[in-house]
Structure 1
Amino acid sequence: MAFLIGAQKSGTTFLFDQLVARHPHIIGRTWNDTGTPFMKKEAHFFSRVPLLEKDFLEYTSSFAASGDINSQNFTFLDATPDYMQIASAPCRISSLVPEAKIIVVLRDPVLRAFSHWNMNQKLQLRPLVKKFDEEVRIEIEGLRKNGCSFESDAFTATESHKDSSYSRTGSSWNKCFKCKFECGLYSAGDKKDHSKDSPLRRKSVEMSCSESLFSIHGIVRRGFHAEQLHWWLQHLRPDQFLILQYEQLKLSANETLERVVKHLGLDPSLISKDPLKSLQEKPSVYASTKWELPTGGWSIPADNATKQKCMQTFKYLRNFYAPANDRLEQLLNSLGMA
């Protein structure tokens, strides 16, 4: 089984659509709530609490509708970008699927943050999204207050650490977001009786416990890719990961698709030659606003004053993320993945 874990707003929907549409042995979950079956991208299964045995059976049965879950000929793909920043996800996945293949697409965290903010405001999420500069300022203040801005600590990874854990100082991803982390196969979670609930309708760990400490929208914290990957690497081997760049996917989609298929141990010659044939999820509806963003969620506000503030915030974020980006480069270099 394979997991496309993020990062959000880094081309994961495009990559998922291309994989399940163009390779016959890559299977997503089958969803059928409109009478017409389609392959649905995001399960959010491993970010839900609690997890019960019946939940895992429901989760696997949604893949079995598309193919034999025990078949070695298929790779079943769960593409949930939320997993990358949910501290409990790698522990749960490594417990249930210890040989899982992990796919990661990374993007410039500043551009990712802006795209994330723009999507949230278009979806009219609750609580309502503030202006970009305000969202950034408020979230960074909260991260600093809780010692989770990752501005001073650094990796000390060396060549000898390639196949083991990394020595580092300061806060870790799990230490900062420990309220999200319950390292177990199944968790009792809260006191509410969830035995009759579908796990796919339940609140995620993020929504249920971190909103009191950090910004609920999380446009800044999702950009700490080094910290997130370092935590994932405590639970899974480096050779289980394929780490891609958003720019690679955008400029060389077919070549990137081949790399992913090879990483999954499948035959790249079976990839369909039609790059435009992709499966799309039906438009979702949030706050009576259809999620139909042909531009991929990128539309800079029109007035000059707002543009200027956005540019100033971009510059501020670039300085803020500079240490984190250096750590990411160190981590990828130590793994031979730069």
Structure 2
Amino acid sequence: MSILLVSTLQTKLDRLQTKIKQKGLSFRLLFRKAGVRLNPKNPWSHYHLAKCLLELKRWQDAEVVYRKTLELNPEIALAHHELGDILQKRKQWSQAVHCYQQAIQHDNQFSWSFHNLGDALKELEQWHEAADAYHQAAERNPDFFATHSHLADVLMRLQDWLGAVAAYRQALRLNPQHFESLYNLAAALEQLGDRPAVAETYLKLIPLKPDFPWYYYSFFWKTLQAEERLTEAEAAYRQALSLDSNNIEIYINLGDTLIHQKRIPDSLPYYENALDIKLSRHYPSLLESRRNNPDFKAKANRLDFIILGAQKAGTSSLYAYMAQHPDIVPALRKEVEFWSWKFYRGLDWYFAHFPQIPEGSHLQTGEACPGYLDFYETAERLRETLPHVKLIVLLRNPVDRAISHYHHWVRRNQEPLPLEEAIEAKIQEIEDKGRVWRIHSNYMARGVYVEFLKHWFSVFPREQFLILKSEDFYEDPGRSLEQVYEFIGLPNYQLSSYKKYNSGQYSPAEVSIRKKIAEFYQPYNQELSQLLNADFTWEL
């Protein structure tokens, strides 16, 4: 029997089983409804009906029946627990906590109630209570991976590094190839200063996801370099490439491994190969024109535009939308960071990340690197090599930008402090240093846009800049893109939809914290409005 036939038969069988199950649930639902009609005072009749509705994912109906069950008998632990599950799905965290606590009161041996209680408490950022719930769950079921993993995540927030390491290791004993737990284990070990163990953990991550974009995680490369483990990383990436020779990210990671060994010339072919694979998939005619034309000449000025920033202001989305324009050929990666941190690598390395566009072509290319805006030397460096490049800047309400940046760092284990403490520490650092330049680890400093733009305007003519409000871009991306295309000299090109890229989910900050941040930025925003001759004061 052919593989195709077997696959087709299996698909049909799976569909048949699904239909049987659905019909079975429908018959059970009728049966349970009849049971409630016959025994309206029996709480178990209601419970079984609620359970059936739960399986059918009819959350609202199930909630009503579970509440009726508990009205008749408030001591049914499973009813409390399953009602809690429904409330979790509906993100009603406080009510879910109450339900799980009631379930535990009536049955304190069911590990799932403790585990799910921990999940709900974590959403409420009640870290100590969540940790206790997970500990209780782990005592009752020590072989459940997720309990140890979630416990470790909470202990990280509590800065209990030793406890987090122990919990992650217990989780990895149960699931040794869980990438996120290994990554977070490395972060906890970093906090303990155990660099050899961090490097060992990083090396275990490479074969699990050889295409993971480590380019954005400087600790990874710094640790492997400091512990002299880069040759092992190189061997791991070469092995991965032998198994998947068309994977763009593996080529990039191998090139980066060589870069950190200061083997810049050796790295260039890997970036160029990665770029050729990308072009072969999306712009084959451009690749063929270069390969088949012995007289091929690329544009002397190879970049047409750069999105300078700001960070967490929508640059990822803007660049992703622009990359879909038929006349724009994007870079190998969105952020090359050459004109800031990686300038020492040389222009050959930089231009290896961009397509070679033939002389006279209407095609354009560029990058988006929000770290350029507040890196002092970038403006002068750019002027020397790309004096006519078009510069695009997105400016987001600095209050929202700072809070977003804070949560971004929390997700990457780079910020252990609660929001209010973290903001106060960053403001204090600015006041102590008396400046906002050259403190790149300070996300409050990065919202003082006026200081950065004054310097850029002193280096480049004002007409080479397009300054957009992020809020306008979020509200009407099509209109903002129309302005962008007019600015860089391309015909307008509208997309059918505008997906948001690189956006994080987090709870809103308290009004008092927002006011504190807004007060800090107020004089800078007023000066910015004067500089740009437009309203950039933003509302709270």
TM class by shorter-chain length? Answer: 0.5 to 0.7
Q: Alpha-carbon deviation of 1:28?
A: 1.7
Q: Alpha-carbon deviation of 1:145?
A: 1.1
CA contact (8 A) 1:107 1:246 kept: yes
- 2:314 corresponding residue in structure 1: 11
Q: Alpha-carbon deviation of 1:272?
A: 4.7
1:246 aligns with 2:473: no
Per-residue CA deviations over 1:116-146 (Å, capped at 9, x if unaligned) read: 1011111223xx4311111111111111111
Query: For 2:459 and 2:359, how far apart are their aligned partners in 1?
Result: 24
Aligned positions of 1:75-90 closer than 5 A: 75-90=364-379
Query: For 1:145 and 1:234, how far apart are their aligned partners in 2?
Result: 27
CA contact (8 A) 1:10 1:246 kept: yes
Instruction: Please state whether the residue corresponding to 1:329 is helix, strand or coil.
Output: helix
Q: Alpha-carbon deviation of 1:58?
A: 2.1
Q: Alpha-carbon deviation of 1:217?
A: 3.1
Per-residue CA deviations over 1:76-125 (Å, capped at 9, x if unaligned) read: 11100000111111111111100010000111101100011011111223
- The count of corresponding residues between Structure 1 and Structure 2 is 233
Query: For 1:49 and 1:14, how far apart are their aligned partners in 2?
Result: 24
1:58 aligns with 2:349: yes
- Partner amino acid, structure 2, of 1:63: F
- 1:141 corresponding residue in structure 2: 428
Query: For 2:358 and 2:431, how far apart are their aligned partners in 1?
Result: 45
Label 1:265 to 1:50 Cα distance change in 2 as closer, same or farther (>3 A): closer
- 2:533 corresponding residue in structure 1: 333
Label 1:143 to 1:26 Cα distance change in 2 as closer, same or farther (>3 A): same
- Partner amino acid, structure 2, of 1:15: L
- Partner amino acid, structure 2, of 1:140: I
Instruction: Please state whether the residue corresponding to 2:468 is helix, strand or coil.
Output: strand
Match 2:442 to one of 203, 210, 218: 218
Say which one has the larger Rg.
2
- 1:322 corresponding residue in structure 2: 522
Aligned positions of 1:18-37 closer than 5 A: 18-21=321-324, 23-30=325-332
Per-residue CA deviations over 1:41-98 (Å, capped at 9, x if unaligned) read: 111111125525xx2112112212xx41645412211100000111111111111100
CA contact (8 A) 1:18 1:275 kept: no
Q: Alpha-carbon deviation of 1:334?
A: 8.3
- Give the TM-score normalised by structure 1: 0.64
Question: RMSD across aligned C-alpha pairs, in angstroms?
Answer: 2.4
Match 2:497 to one of 272, 275, 291: 275
Match 2:341 to one of 34, 40, 48: 48
- 2:214 corresponding residue in structure 1: none
Label 1:242 to 1:317 Cα distance change in 2 as closer, same or farther (>3 A): same
Aligned positions of 1:114-125 closer than 5 A: 114-125=403-414
1:266 aligns with 2:490: yes
CA contact (8 A) 1:63 1:69 kept: no
Q: Alpha-carbon deviation of 1:297?
A: 1.3
Query: For 1:92 and 1:72, how far apart are their aligned partners in 2?
Result: 26
- Partner amino acid, structure 1, of 2:416: V
- 2:273 corresponding residue in structure 1: none
Query: For 1:69 and 1:87, how far apart are their aligned partners in 2?
Result: 32
Gaps of 5+ in 1: 31-39, 149-175, 178-209, 281-292, 302-306
Query: For 2:479 and 2:430, how far apart are their aligned partners in 1?
Result: 38
Structure with the bigger percentage of helix: 2
- Give the TM-score normalised by structure 2: 0.41
Query: For 1:321 and 1:69, how far apart are their aligned partners in 2?
Result: 46
Query: For 1:334 and 1:247, how far apart are their aligned partners in 2?
Result: 14
CA contact (8 A) 2:373 2:452 kept: yes
Aligned positions of 1:295-310 closer than 5 A: 296-300=503-507, 310=510
Aligned positions of 1:46-195 closer than 5 A: 46-52=339-345, 55-64=346-355, 67-68=356-357, 70-125=359-414, 128-148=415-435, 177=437
CA contact (8 A) 2:317 2:499 kept: no
Label 1:145 to 1:59 Cα distance change in 2 as closer, same or farther (>3 A): same
Query: For 2:478 and 2:528, how far apart are their aligned partners in 1?
Result: 26
Query: For 1:69 and 1:223, how far apart are their aligned partners in 2?
Result: 39
Gaps of 5+ in 2: 1-303, 536-540
Label 1:272 to 1:256 Cα distance change in 2 as closer, same or farther (>3 A): closer
Larger RCO of the pair (alpha carbons < 8 Å, separation 6+): 1
Label 1:60 to 1:265 Cα distance change in 2 as closer, same or farther (>3 A): same
- 1:165 corresponding residue in structure 2: none
CA contact (8 A) 1:3 1:80 kept: yes
CA contact (8 A) 1:60 1:69 kept: no
CA contact (8 A) 1:20 1:26 kept: yes
Per-residue CA deviations over 1:18-39 (Å, capped at 9, x if unaligned) read: 0001x11122212xxxxxxxxx
Query: For 1:275 and 1:258, how far apart are their aligned partners in 2?
Result: 15
Instruction: Please state whether the residue corresponding to 1:29 is helix, strand or coil.
Output: coil
Query: For 2:329 and 2:336, how far apart are their aligned partners in 1?
Result: 13
